[in-house]
Structure 1
Amino acid sequence: MKAFGFLSFGHYAIGSQPGPDAGQTLKQALELAQAADELGVNGAYFRVHHFAPQGASPMPLLGAIAGSTKHIEVGTGVIDMRYENPLYLAEEAAALDLLSDGRVALGVSRGSPEPAQRGWESFGYTAGDPNGADMARTKFERFLTAIDGYGVATAAPAEEQYPRMYQAGTPLPIFPHSPGLRRHIWWGAGSHGTAEQAARDGVNLMSSTLVSEADGSSLGDLQAEQIARYREAWKAAGHDWTPRVSVSRSVFPIVDDRSRELFGLQASGRDQIGSLGEGTPVTFGRTYAAEPDKLIEQLRADAAVQSADTLMLTVPNQMGVEVNVSILEAFAGHVAPSLGWIPADKGPVEGYPIG
């Protein structure tokens, strides 16, 4: 593990529910990212969901974080391509990459189930597959074409252009263009097959908080196999750069009486097999909560954590900034150094070499 960051699901309260509302949650996310930047934490990542009281459109928040920090990477885990205009997303991603000087880790994927039935149709998009996988794939390919600078439209006749800039019929790319953006795109893979496809596509791998394989093996072992297949497929594809790989875990260091009171009962001894409502069994990860020396031992035994270069800590954002800063501070001070952590202010993180 070379880098670690936090992954926030962005839950907020609505109506008479207790807890921070949407505005407070966004402002707290910004404050948490700023504090994490001061600690040397490498990344601030946010889940994206629709028709639910949690994070939705991430770009305003990511831009605010990038503009008020120095080192921390900003990103998503993940943007649901079924709900996106791929060319507009390409413009936004390029602008964010340029504004942040490349501090972007934009995770995208087909997305997970949402409360709305075929909610992407309400956004104006129609898919053939019941879960929208075909449309997400088509949009992703178009998104990659756009960020790579290829033409995605055709210039109008000169007399119809304003201003007149192009010869009629010229292929037109989106603007702005950020030349290094492809290396900052991650595919959120929930299976071995999608991980291998991400390698063929030439993007980084963001292994999901769960995997669709469920044969009784631990999440760490299943993800380690996924990562191995990804790297083998990457090598076979012949790409000329080394990608990064991330995994997510719930980790709570117990360093004092307060953290023991808050998180001491959160630990789970094993992963769980469940369902996301699509009929396929999935493996969910366990929660780690222990004293630092025990956490180090447990995370060293987690094959996926050892295989990845980046660890995302899922944080309980509704507990407020101070509690979440204390989690990051404890992990940075007592656990991460023993796992090979390189703080953000010590330089950019690169992926593991692929031999």
Structure 2
Amino acid sequence: MKSFGFLSFGHYGPQMGRPGFDGGVSLREAVEIGVGADEIGVNGAFFRVHHFAKQAASPMPLLAAIAARTSHIEVGTGVIDMRYENPLYLAEEAAALDLLSSGRVALGVSRGSPEPALRGWEAFGYTGSEDPRGADIARDKFDLFMKAIRGEKVADADPAQFGAGARLAIEPQSPGLDSRIWWGAGSRDTAEWAAEQGVNLMSSTLVTEATGQPLAELQSEQMDLYRKRWVEKWGTSGRAPRVSVSRSIFPIVTAQDAQIFGRQGESSDGIGQIDGFTSTFGKTYAAEPDVLIEQLKADSAVQDADNVLLTIPSQAGVDLNLHILRSFAEHVAPALGWQPNTAGIQHGYPLTR
């Protein structure tokens, strides 16, 4: 593991047990968690994107707010549901934010996960999908999105202004942004497909496969297939692709930690249904730092990944979430090969113990 970040699901509402915990409070707290994480030295602040639910939806204003108050941390998503997006407008927004943040945007995108609305992308005006899950339009949009951020000309120019046959690219352009796009893959096939597209691989706390193997083994197999396909397609002379996995990890360093998270460490991988797929769900890691280190060293996917995202209980507030991130940064991550950003050193936070 070279870097770690956090992944927030952005839940809010009265069901969270906090009176007045609405969308505004949730977003403002997300900014404060991002700022605090940057000071600790955490490498990435990532957010889930959902629609028609009391969760974070349009990510760009949030990412922009965090980027404006930080200096080093990557700001990104895990993942944007392409079924709901205008790919050219998304490309413009992503490029603008990347320029404003000096190249710190890292967007995870994919077909997306199940949403509360039935074929909700059609309510957004995106019709024509022949797939009940909308995978066809998601991939078509992704293809156009990548062409746009790579500077390809995607629209006919007005011949009165440019002459016959001219084509236009989106503006602004942010060179290098395409190297920081991730595809959220759930299976071996989609992992290999991501390699063929020349984008990074993002794997969540579940995969849409169930073979009886632990989640870590399934993800490691996907990573191996992804990297092999990358070399076949792109060779070894260009940039190295990045791979990220997500985990629920809670270091127990105080009595309060033990009270809040202690029982969760007894969980195990599970099998269940999601969006019609029989899927493997990952367990929660909750233990004292020395135990966590050994558990995570035995997690093959964590060891094989370049980046690990800690899923955080964002609804629990700023202080608890920064405590989780600081505990991991101080007591666990250095033993796993973590390379922090420089913000933590500049701000005096101890990164090792």
TM-score clears 0.5: yes
Q: 1:257 aligns with which of 234, 255, 258?
A: 255
Quote how far apart the aligned CAs of 1:268 are.
3.4
Counterparts of 1:287 and 1:143 in 2: how far apart (Å)? 35
- Does structure 1 retain, via aligned residues, the 8 Å contact 2:72–2:343? no
Match of 1:327 among 324, 328, 347: 324
Change (3 A) 1:237 1:16: closer
Structure 2 residue aligned with 1:248, among 238, 246, 249? Answer: 246
Tell me, what secondary structure is at the counterpart of 1:264?
helix
Q: Is residue 14–residue 53 contact of structure 1 (8 Å, CA) maintained in 2?
A: no
Structure 1 residue 281 corresponds to structure 2 residue 278: yes
CA drift at 1:133: 0.4
Alignment partners' CA distance in 2, 1:15 and 1:3:
33
| 1:340 and 2:316 are equivalent in the alignment | no
Q: What runs of 5+ residues in structure 2 fail to find an aligned partner?
A: 345-353
- Residue in 1 that maps onto 2:163: 167
Q: What SS is found at the alignment partner of 2:266?
A: coil
Distance in 1 separating the partners of 2:234 and 2:89:
30
State the Cα distance separating 1:111 from its structure 2 match: 0.2
User: Aligned equivalents of 2:227 and 2:280: distance in 1?
Assistant: 22
Q: Which residue of 1 aligns with 2:9?
A: 9
CA-based RMSD: 1.5
Query: Paired residue for 2:95?
Result: 94
CA contact (8 A) 1:221 1:304 kept: yes
Contact 1:8-1:314 at 8 Å conserved across structures: yes
User: Are the structure 2 counterparts of residues 15 and 129 from structure 1 closer, same or farther at C-alpha, using a change threshold of 3 Å?
Assistant: same
Unaligned segments of structure 1, at least 5 residues: 159-163, 348-355
- Cα shift readout 1:51-99 (whole Å, capped 9, x = no counterpart): 1000100000001111110100000000000000000000011111111
Q: Distance in 1 between matches of 2:312 and 2:234?
A: 37
Amino acid at match of 1:243: P
Give the C-alpha shift of residue 248 in structure 1.
0.2
Q: Does 1:203 align with 2:199?
A: yes
Q: CA deviation at 1:15?
A: 8.8
Aligned to 1:212: 208
Q: What is the distance in 1 between the residues matched to 2:319 and 2:185?
A: 32
Kindly indicate whether residue 259 of structure 2 is the aligned counterpart of residue 266 of structure 1: no
- Structure 1 position 17, deviation (Å): 6.2
- Aligned runs of 1:23-38 on 2, under 5 Å? 23-38=24-39
CA–CA distance in structure 2, aligned partners of residues 336 and 106 of structure 1: 23
Structure-2 separation of matches of 1:346 and 1:197: 35
Distance in 2 between residues matched to 1:227 and 1:22, nearest whole Å: 36
In the aligned structure 1, how far is the partner of 2:136 from the partner of 2:266? 36
Contact preservation (8 Å) 1:264, 1:290: yes
Give deviations 1:108-127, integer Å, cap 9, x for gaps.
Answer: 00000101000000000011
Of 315, 318, 337, 2:315 maps to: 318
Paired AA for residue 230 in structure 1: Y
For the residues of structure 2 that align with 1:17 and 1:310, how far apart are their CA atoms?
Answer: 32
Cα drift, residue 270 of structure 1: 1.7
Q: Secondary structure at the match of 1:312?
A: strand
Distance 2:15 2:216 in 1: 39
Q: Tell me if structure 2 keeps the 8 A contact 1:154–1:171.
A: yes
Q: Which residue of structure 2 lines up, in the alignment, with residue 222 of structure 1?
A: 218
Counterpart AA for 1:227: M
Poorly superposed stretches of 4+, deviation over 2 Å: 14-19, 166-169
Q: Per-residue CA shift, 1:141-181, capped at 9, x if unaligned?
A: 000111111111111132xxxxx4x3343110000011111
Q: Distance in 2 between matches of 1:16 and 1:286?
A: 22
Q: 1:128 Cα deviation (Å)?
A: 1.2
Q: Is the 8 A contact 1:34 1:69 kept in 2?
A: yes
SS at match of 1:341: coil
1:265 Cα deviation after fit: 1.1
